[in-house]
Amino acid sequence: MNSEKFFLFTAVCVITHIIRFLYEILKHKKILEPTKLSFVIIFINMGLLWTSWFALCSLDLYRMNLPGIIKYLGVLIVGIGIIVFFIALFTIKTLESYQGDLITKGIYSKIRHPMYLAFILWLIGFPIFFGALFSFILSFVFIANILFWRYLEEKELEKRFLSYMDYKKTTIF
């Protein structure tokens, strides 16, 4: 039974990453303009993505035998990711549809893409905590996907804000 759930959550996680990947490409190529409907769809997709990821890590059939201290390091990594995500969210006060000025205050004065960084921390921390070998390996594919989202967003921001290149010089990630 657990193997069936494991493969189901793996499939859902991969499919939701593919959907987000395609959404970013369509948005970048101006084939799809972000609307309230697309935001709702992507918000639901991201909810499924993260729910399936957390379940996948806990049900992983392939285990790493990690010492307790390392497993709790995974919890710390996830915790830092949660904090970074919510600080970023409360600074920007929106998701996906922001059309205002370049945000360079708060956490954005140090990190250009704190939400993406938070996602990467979740992708690393959860498999470590659960000792989930397959999930840990899969996380690198998903991290590459997030770095691709970031790359596309950087290109858009460079076009949209003349000051973005200077901003990049004073921030990380």
Render pLDDT for 42-89 as a digit per residue (tens, 0 to 9): 999 999 999 999 999 999 999 999 999 999 999 999 999 999 999 999
Sequence-distant (≥ 6) Cβ neighbours of residue 18 within 8 angstroms: none
Type of residue numbered 33: E
- Low-confidence residues of the chain: pLDDT under 50: none
Q: Which domains does the chain have, with CATH numbers?
A: 2-169 (1.20.120.1630)
* Structure-block tokens of residue 79: 């915790």
Sequence-distant (≥ 6) Cβ neighbours of residue 126 within 8 angstroms: 53, 54, 57, 74, 78, 132, 135
Rounded Cα distance, 45 and 15, in Å: 9
Q: What is the pTM of this model?
A: 0.92
Rounded Cα distance, 113 and 143, in Å: 14
* Structure-block tokens of residue 41: 């769809």
Q: Are 72 and 126 within 8 A, CB to CB? A: no
Q: What is residue 64's predicted lDDT score, i.e. its pLDDT? A: 97
Q: What is residue 66's predicted lDDT score, i.e. its pLDDT? A: 96
Rounded Cα distance, 90 and 110, in Å: 15
* Structure-block tokens of residue 80: 């830092």
Q: What is residue 100's predicted lDDT score, i.e. its pLDDT? A: 75
* Structure-block tokens of residue 1: 């039974």
Q: What is residue 35's predicted lDDT score, i.e. its pLDDT? A: 85
Type of residue numbered 116: Y
Q: What is residue 50's predicted lDDT score, i.e. its pLDDT? A: 96
* Structure-block tokens of residue 142: 């998903």
How many other C-beta atoms can be found within 10 angstroms of the C-beta atom of residue 107?
A: 22
DSSP H helices in the chain: 2-28, 36-59, 68-92, 114-130, 133-160, 164-169
